[in-house]
Amino acid sequence: MSKRINKIYLSVIVPVYNEGTNITKFIYGLESSVNIKHEVLIIYDFDEDNTMPVVKRLKRKFKNIKLIKNIFESGLINACKTGFKKANGNFLVVMSGDLADEPKTINKMYELAKKGYDIVCATRYSKGGKQLGGSLVKTYLSKFAGLTTPILLGIPTSDLTNGFKMYNRKIFKKIKIESQGGWEFTMEILIKAHFLGFKITETPSTWYERTLGKSKFKLLKWLPKYIYWYFWGISQRSKLLLNR
């Protein structure tokens, strides 16, 4: 492990696409809530993105902010992949820049990660977790997936689809991300990690619907990809149970 990694314990990876109206509140919220030494990687796709000038100003005050251009083709997954590649922390947390995720949850995630859990999922669906707003269809689908996950996939989380997760960096040495759509990559990593024997747990968190900026979530386009990974997980579990 390099000296650099020992110094920075946590990397917060934030993909952004025109979050200029949200990013100031996001950074102030993050910096006042997270009590672990960390770096913040803001990953953008194109130079005209309206998040850029705001982050450039914030960087003068918050020296731990890094503004990084997506090194792959544009898009959410590639922005996160860029973050995984460029992060220096031992633990990497992905969160949305639209104020959807509660930054104080990161402290609880970190405690669990330090205890040896390789992925810590933020959950809206267990006691203490909440979702405020959001499309009903998306909520029902996500709730169904989450609540059936422990039973059908054998994975100990009730929120399979939440992108807000903390990862031990070591899992990226073993997992190649194949997803090419959107947030389903978070399911892919979780399911693959589980069947490779990595330890998974969850902690409750509240999710807020964005009030400013525009959602880039493409439900119809990405739904088949979520379904693919869900059934892939079920097939892995079935194989395991049949081989017992």
Binding footprint of ligand GTP on the chain (CB under 6 A): 15-17, 19, 43-45, 70, 74-76, 79, 96-98, 100, 134, 183, 210, 215-217
* Among candidate residues 60, 14, 57, 48, the one with its CA nearest the CA of residue 34: 14
Nearer to ligand GTP, 16 or 30 (CB): 16
d(CA 121, CA 185): 14
- 184 burial via Cβ count (<10 Å: 0-12, 13-18, 19+): buried
Residue 93 β-bridge partners: 12, 166
Q: How far is the CB of 243 from Mg ion (least distance, A)?
A: 40
Q: Is the dihedral of CA 2, 80, 178, 74 positive or negative?
A: negative
With CB under 5 to 8 Å by kind, the binding choice for 30 among ligand GTP, Mg ion, none is: none
Residues near 147 by Cβ (< 8 Å), separated by ≥ 6? 125, 158
- Contact between 112 and Mg ion by CB under 5 A: the answer reads no
**Helix, strand or coil for residue 64?**
coil
Residue with smallest beta-carbon separation from ligand GTP:
215
Q: Which does 92 bind (CB under 5 to 8 A by kind): Mg ion, ligand GTP, none?
A: none
* Shortest reach from residue 14's CB to ligand GTP, in Å: 6
Shortest Cβ distance from residue 122 to Mg ion (Å)? 13
Q: By C-beta, is 181 or 233 nearer to Mg ion?
A: 181
Candidate ranges 25-33, 90-98, 120-128, 227-235; the one touching Mg ion (CB under 5 A): 90-98
Q: How far is the CB of 93 from ligand GTP (least distance, A)?
A: 13
- Taking CB under 5 A as the binding criterion, the range among 7-15, 55-63, 99-107, 127-135 that sits at the site for Mg ion is 99-107
- Which DSSP helix (H) or strand (E) runs through 86? helix 76-86
Q: Pick from 52, 77, 100, 112: which binds Mg ion (CB under 5 A)?
A: 100
Question: Is residue 39 involved in binding Mg ion (CB under 5 A)?
Answer: no
Cα–Cα dist 70/77, whole Å = 10
Tokens of 178: 């194949």
Amino acid in position 1: M
Contacting Mg ion (CB under 5 A), which of 98, 102, 118, 184? 98
Least Å from the CB of residue 25 to ligand GTP: 13
Task: Indicate the Cα dihedral angle 26, 57, 53, 55, nearest 10°.
Answer: -30
Under the rule (CB under 5 A), what is the footprint of Mg ion? 96, 98, 100
